[in-house]
C-alpha cells in the first residue's frame, strides 16, 4: 500500500506498526503539507461494519480530548474498501520498544513517564473516557522525553448515569499482562481500572517485566485475580519504599483499595520524585540538623618535674607513661656509668704494664 493516497489527501509512505485489526502508516497530508500517522484497517476487516464502527468511535473519542500527552486525531473516513483514521505523527518509539532494548529504566525516568501518563489519564477521565488498554505498546516516548498516549480503540465512554461502551460487547478486552481484575471478569470499569494498568506499566519499567507472566492468557488473568505480585522493592533495591507502596496500591485487586484518581497518583509521583531529588526516600517534615560532634578536650598539660622530653611534657603524658620513661632514664644512666668504669679499669691496667 506504500504510495497509495487515501481520502484523496493522505499519502501512505511506510508502515510504523501493526495491530490486531489495522496498520499504522507514516504519511503526508497533501493538503496541509504536514506529516501524519494514518491508521488503516487491514484486509478482511477493512469493510466489516463492526471494525469500521470501532474505528469511527475511536475517532470520536480522540476528538473529545485535547491534551499534550494524548495523540491528536485529525480525520476519520472510508476510502473504497478501507477505513482510515488520520492522526498526529509522533517522532519517537513506544515504551515497549524502549523496554525491549534496555530491560528496565532508571527510577527517575520511570517516575517521569508515569507522571505524564497520569496527566493524560486525568484529562481523559475528566472527559468521561476510560482508555482500558494502557500498556507499553500504547505509550510513545518522544525524542525529547515526552509521552503520548495513543490507541483509544477499546475505550469506554462513561456518562453521569450509566456507561455507554465504545465497543460492542461487555466481554473482556485489553492486554492480559496489564488488565485489571474487574476488566478481566467483564465487570464495570472506571478510572481506577486504568490506574491498575498504569501500576503494571510502572512495575514493568522498574523490573523489566510485567507483574504477572504465564504460559497462556488464562494463566496470567488468574494471577491478576487471585495472586499478589512480588513487591518491586524485593526485586530492585534502589526503588524508594514510597514508590513501592504506591505500586502496591495501584495493583490492588479491589478497586476500592487503589488511589481514587489519576490526579492523586500524579501528585504522589511528584512528591516521590521531589523527595528523591532532595536525597530522601519519602517526603516528610523538615528536621533541625543536629550539631556536629566535637572532639574531646585535651587533658591539661602537667608540669615536667621528672625532666621528661619536651614532647612528652607538652602532650600531658599520663603518670604511667612518665613513670616508665623515668625508669628507662635511670637505666640509661646506670649503663653509661658501668661502661665508663670498665674503660677506666682497662686504662689503669694498661698503664701499670
Enzyme catalytic residues: 133
Degrees, nearest 5: CA angle 61-73-122? 55
CA atoms within 13 A on the CB side of 286: 2
Q: Which residue is it, cell 489519576?
A: 262
Which single residue is written with the C-alpha cell 481484575? 181
| C-beta of residue 109 within 8 angstroms of C-beta of residue 31 | no
DSSP secondary structure letter of residue 264: H
Whether the CB-CB separation of 189 and 181 falls below 8 Å is answered with no
- Closest CA relative to residue 324, chosen from 312, 340, 310, 341: 312
Report the C-alpha gap between 328 and 306 in whole angstroms: 12
Inter-CA distances, 164 with 63, 126, 130, 193, Å: 17, 16, 11, 16
For residue 7, the surrounding DSSP H or E stretch is none
End-to-end CA distance of the chain: 131
Spatial separation of the C-alpha atoms in residues 120 and 280, rounded to whole Å: 28
Amino acid at each position: 500500500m506504500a504510495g497509495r493516497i487515501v481520502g484523496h489527501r493522505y499519502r501512505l509512505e511506510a508502515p510504523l506498526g501493526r495491530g490486531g485489526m489495522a496498520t499504522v502508516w507514516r504519511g503526508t497530508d497533501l493538503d496541509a503539507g504536514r506529516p501524519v500517522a494514518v491508521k488503516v484497517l487491514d484486509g478482511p476487516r477493512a469493510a466489516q461494519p463492526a471494525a469500521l464502527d470501532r474505528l469511527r468511535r475511536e475517532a470520536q473519542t480522540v476528538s473529545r480530548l485535547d491534551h499534550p500527552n494524548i495523540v491528536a486525531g485529525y480525520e476519520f473516513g472510508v476510502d473504497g474498501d478501507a477505513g482510515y483514521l488520520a492522526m498526529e505523527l509522533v517522532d519517537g518509539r513506544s515504551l515497549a520498544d524502549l523496554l525491549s532494548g534496555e530491560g528496565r529504566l532508571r527510577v527517575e525516568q520511570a517516575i517521569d513517564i508515569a507522571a505524564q501518563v497520569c496527566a493524560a489519564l486525568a484529562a481523559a477521565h475528566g472527559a468521561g473516557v476510560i482508555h482500558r488498554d494502557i500498556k507499553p505498546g500504547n505509550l510513545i516516548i518522544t525524542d525529547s522525553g515526552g509521552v503520548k498516549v495513543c490507541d483509544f480503540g477499546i475505550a469506554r465512554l462513561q456518562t453521569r448515569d450509566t456507561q455507554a461502551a465504545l465497543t460492542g460487547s461487555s466481554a473482556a478486552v485489553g492486554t492480559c499482562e496489564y488488565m485489571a481484575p474487574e476488566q478481566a471478569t467483564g465487570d464495570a470499569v472506571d478510572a481506577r481500572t486504568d490506574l491498575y494498568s498504569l501500576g503494571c506499566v510502572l512495575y514493568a519499567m522498574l523490573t523489566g517485566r510485567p507483574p504477572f507472566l504465564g504460559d497462556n492468557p488464562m494463566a496470567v488473568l488468574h494471577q491478576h485475580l487471585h495472586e499478589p505480585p512480588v513487591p518491586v522493592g524485593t526485586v530492585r533495591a534502589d526503588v524508594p519504599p514510597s514508590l513501592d507502596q504506591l505500586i502496591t496500591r495501584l495493583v490492588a485487586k479491589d478497586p476500592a483499595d487503589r488511589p481514587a484518581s489519576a490526579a492523586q497518583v500524579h501528585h504522589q509521583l511528584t512528591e516521590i520524585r521531589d523527595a528523591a531529588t532532595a536525597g530522601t526516600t519519602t517526603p516528610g517534615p523538615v528536621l533541625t540538623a543536629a550539631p556536629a560532634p566535637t572532639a574531646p578536650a585535651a587533658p591539661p598539660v602537667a608540669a615536667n618535674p621528672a625532666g621528661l622530653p619536651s614532647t612528652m611534657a607538652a602532650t600531658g603524658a599520663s603518670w604511667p607513661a612518665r613513670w616508665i620513661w623515668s625508669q628507662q632514664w635511670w637505666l640509661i644512666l646506670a649503663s653509661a656509668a658501668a661502661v665508663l668504669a670498665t674503660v677506666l679499669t682497662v686504662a689503669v691496667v694498661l698503664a701499670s704494664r
